[in-house]
Copies of this chain bind each other. A is one copy, B any other.
Amino acid sequence: MNQSVKAKALDRIDISILDTLQKEGRIANVDLAKKVNLSASPCIDRVKRLEKEGFIEGYGARLNSSKLGYGTAAFIQVTLDRTTSDVFDKFREAVVMIPQVAECHMVAGGFDYLLKLRLPNMEAYRSILAQIVDLPGVAQTHTYVVIEQVKNDRGLPLKHHADASTPPL
């Protein structure tokens, strides 16, 4: 079973609701209903269902990171000194505590973790790197500073999914 609730398959309208909500999370239910060609009641019922079944995890404002002091981003590749699970656990536990670490991915390939940092500027990088290097188990790091954000999609390409591969349960 899935998410504590039996999830039926999503139909065209559900997809349309999800797609609309991920772009306009604060749209009025009345307007959402119009957009998906439904009246208000079944529309809000579907939204509530999508929330309860876990397709929608929450809502959030998209903030302008530059204007709020986080205009710089950097990626750090981290290699740990040993690949035992307790070393991994210690590192994970510590890295998630650093607020400037926006993302931390364990990856397969030439290193162990890929971190994405958000920073006010390049001066701030120095102190963050010092923290990263001091994290438990860290053997070496390599940094790539982002020069330009070419694309940064928050949303999923739901409309492009109506084809092969993993159909939404």
Q: Which A residues fall within an 8 A CB radius of B?
A: 2-3, 7, 18, 21-26, 54-65, 67-71, 73, 75, 92, 95-96, 99-111, 113-114, 118, 120-121, 123-124, 142-158, 160-161, 165-169
Contact = CB atoms under 8 A, between A and B. Distances in A.
28 contacts: A3-B67, A24-B58, A25-B25, A55-B64, A55-B67, A55-B68, A57-B61, A57-B62, A58-B61, A58-B62, A60-B60, A63-B155, A65-B156, A68-B158, A69-B168, A75-B105, A96-B150, A102-B151, A102-B152, A103-B153, A104-B151, A105-B148, A106-B147, A106-B149, A109-B145, A111-B144, A120-B166, A121-B165
Question: How many copies of this chain are found per oligomer?
Answer: 2
A130 B148 CA distance: 24
A133 to B, nearest CB: 17
Contact of A60 (B62, B64, B161): B62
Q: Looking at A22, A100, A157, which has the most chain B CB atoms within 10 Å of its CB?
A: A157
A60 B21 contact: yes
A26 to B, nearest CB: 4
Contacts of A21: 60-61
Contacts of A124: 165
Contacts of A158: 68
